[in-house]
Amino acid sequence: MDFKSVQDQLQGAFNAIDGSTRNIKVLDVFEQKTHLPRSYAVVAFGIVYLVMIFMNFGGIGELLSNIAGFMYPFYSSLKALETSSKDDDTRLLTYWVVFAFLNLIEFWSGAILYWIPAYFLFKTLFLVYLSSPVTNGAQVVYGLIIKPLGDKVLHTNSPEGPADNLMDKVQNKID
């Protein structure tokens, strides 16, 4: 891979960013005042955002990481509620289940995780992986970890269902 092909790939990425952010008015102002492509502002913002997460000044890395894991899925969920397709609903519901599970795990192990260098940066990258429709990361984590755990703990694969199974156990204890 030579320098020219890398340069062409980067230019293609910048052009894609320019095209996909045409409806963001703040970037219009940026372009008019600086005479620079809007993609420069987007990339600069992304770099500053990741550095702030990495440096974790005043504990802000946790908040910024959660914002990164919340905003795109939130926007996508609002859009999905307006469509008749169930595919996007299932994908997003799976993401929210995984997101909640990770937050629950993180709460109970927060004191340990805080001391892992660049933890919130890795968490942010992982949340981006989970929320990306290209990678289907949430479906992977759900299928490998959460569903088997749920089946084992809640007996969700029982033909009677978890509530019936629980009621039978309670009734057996009473009898």
Q: Where in the sequence is the domain holding 50, given as residue range(s)?
A: 1-55
Q: Tokens 């949340």, residue? A: 127
Helices (H) and strands (E) in the chain, counts: 9, 0
71 shares its domain with 132: yes
Residue 142 DSSP one-character state: I
Q: Are both 46 and 68 inside the same structural domain? A: no
* Higher pLDDT, residue 111 or 58: 58
Are 88 and 164 in a shared domain?
A: yes
Q: Which residue has the tokens 């908040």?
A: 63
Overall average pLDDT of the 138-150 stretch: 94
Task: Give the torsion through C-alpha atoms of 94, 98, 103, 104, to 10 deg.
Answer: 100
Number of structural domains found in the chain: 2
pTM of this structure: 0.78
User: Within this chain, do residues 144 and 171 fall inside the same structural domain, yes or no?
Assistant: yes
Q: 73 and 152: one domain? A: yes
State whether 36 and 111 are in the same domain: no
pLDDT for res 33: 96
Could you tell me if 48 and 63 lie in one domain? no
Looking at the structure, tell me whether residues 89 and 170 fall in a common domain. Answer: yes
- Which ranges constitute the DSSP H helices of 56-117? 60-80, 87-113
